[in-house]
Every structure is written in C-alpha cells, then in structure tokens.
C-alpha cells in the first residue's frame, strides 16, 4: 500500500533560513544571467529587460551557450559562461522541487518528519515521489548558488570593463 501524506502547515524552524537563502540566490542568479546577456550583446538594461523578462532558466542558459560562440569568445569569458551555465543546470531540478513541491509528513505521523513531495513525471502524479531534504543539504545548495552568484558578478564586471572607453 502506498504511503499517504498530510500537508505540513509549518516547517521545523531550521528549514526556513536555507530555503530562503536558496530562493533568494536563485532569483539573483536569474537576473545576473540576464545582465550577462545584455552586456555581452551590448544593449542597455532597459532594452535588455524588455527582451529577457520572463525567460526561464533553460532559455537563459541556452543563450549563454550561444553567446560563447561569438560574443563571449574570449577563452576566459567562455569558460566563465560555460561554468555558470553548467552550475545552474546542475541545480535546476532541485530548485524546481523546492519552489513547486509540497512539504508533507506521513499521515498520522510526526508533523516534523517532513518530506518533499513532487510530481515531475506522469506516474508521480498518481504516486508522488517523497524525498527527505534536510536543512544541511538545502544550505549546501544555497552555498553553491552563492559561488555561482560570485562567478556571475565577476563576469558582469569583466563585461562592464570591456565596454568602458
């Protein structure tokens, strides 16, 4: 028999800081990728926002890859963009689970025994996947996002310096 779950209306307090940091850093990284795109092709922020607003991460990382063929052709810039895109791709599924999954606990069980429930695949909609994601794991991924934020910022500054007369 399949295990049934109840929705956790609150999480143990130690979950909130790493979840909040992860989501904050992800939002910053999405914006930083947009800035890299704008700087690489030489458009100002206003025009850039108009063109990239609402683009998903999959599209942004694909554009970064395309830019390395011409606009980010310097070996250092290409390596920085490729490394950034690879890091983002490695955390995308985790981010989607964190943002769109549901925190739940076994029906009739301890409300602090929480699992992330997600339904990525069709068969998971009938029998969702339940996985433990403890605060240290979430924090580890937030720390990795911080490193990606720092890489992105270095590339932005490099592109800014390239355009300064």
pLDDT tens digits for range 29-63: 999 999 999 999 999 999 999 999 999 999 999 99
Those residues with Cβ within 8 angstroms of residue 28's Cβ, 6 or more apart along the chain or in another chain? 149
Place of tokens 């950034």: 84
Encoded tokens for 80? 């920085």
- Is the C-alpha dihedral spanning 71, 155, 62, 33 positive or negative? negative
Q: For residues 67 and 41, is the Cβ–Cβ distance under 8 A?
A: yes
- Residue 76 exposure: Cα atoms within 13 Å on the Cβ side: 9
pLDDT in tens, 103-152: 999 999 999 999 998 876 555 555 567 889 999 999 999 999 999 999 99
Q: What pTM does this model have?
A: 0.90
pLDDT tier, 2 (very low <50, low <70, confident <90, very high otherwise) = low
Write down the pLDDT at residue 18.
Answer: 98
């Amino acid at each position: 028999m399949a295990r049934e779950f109840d929705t956790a209306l609150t999480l143990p307090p130690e979950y909130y800081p790493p979840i909040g940091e992860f989501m904050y850093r992800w939002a910053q990284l999405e914006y930083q990728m947009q800035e890299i795109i704008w700087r690489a092709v030489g458009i100002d922020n206003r025009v850039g926002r108009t063109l990239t607003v609402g683009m998903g991460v999959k599209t942004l990382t694909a554009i970064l890859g395309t830019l390395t063929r011409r606009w980010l052709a310097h070996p250092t810039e290409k390596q920085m963009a490729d490394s950034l895109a690879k890091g983002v791709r490695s955390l995308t599924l985790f981010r989607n689970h964190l943002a769109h999954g549901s925190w739940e606990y076994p029906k009739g069980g301890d409300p602090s025994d929480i699992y992330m429930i997600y339904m990525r695949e069709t068969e998971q909609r009938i029998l969702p996947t339940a996985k433990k994601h403890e605060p240290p794991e979430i924090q580890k991924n937030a720390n990795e996002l911080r490193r990606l934020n720092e890489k992105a910022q270095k590339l932005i500054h490099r592109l800014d310096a390239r355009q300064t007369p």
